[in-house]
Structure 1
């Protein structure tokens, strides 16, 4: 009889612990703090430099108002999708300055015209709530 009572106590303790873990998980009490971002919209696009897709280029949108920058890297076809942080897609609504950073360190092989590697290059876009926020950048020059 004593063994049965001990097993029942262990089972009750295990069930209570399991219920607590499930409750915390469902309520969202994970390890990471909740994110308090401004309103974001997904942004994607294509980067072309002098008529060719521009792979391995970092595309950065700097909002002219509140919020942080969003970044993405082009694939082999020049396509990109912006991320607000490592796990959150999108960019802040409103006007943005756009800058491009080539991953290559050899400037002599740079495909991106130098003008567009600066934040003050004059290139701006508008991220809107009704979208689509798909941009094609066709950069020309040296």
Structure 2
């Protein structure tokens, strides 16, 4: 047992970690539900946000930027195209490559979804007072640093 562990009293870190994962999942589901009802789901928002920030991208570039398999991105893009949120066009130099562009309707859906997500997060985390919110921010920063090896 390390000196740090010997000094610790209170809740078991593993129990708190599992509780965190459960609450994070629940918050994510709720935010996703609100975003989808307003315009576009959280997962689709990531794809649309990249297109809004970077402009037209090839499907392979989009998959790489998202850290997803190309086939998964292709299926998501087919759905977004059916909804009129993106367009896909063949590359002039390589017809196998598809260039993806965000449409005006896609920009509107992205904005509406993000606004709904932000509203819901403010509602949820607004239930904390300033001291609790600052403590949560500090705790999350510490856990993030430990998880990414930056502590």
TM-score range, shorter chain: under 0.3
TM-score by length of 2: 0.23
Of structures 1 and 2, the larger Rg is shown by: 1
Structure with the higher helix share, 1 or 2: 2
Structure with the higher strand share, 1 or 2: 1
TM-score by length of 1: 0.24
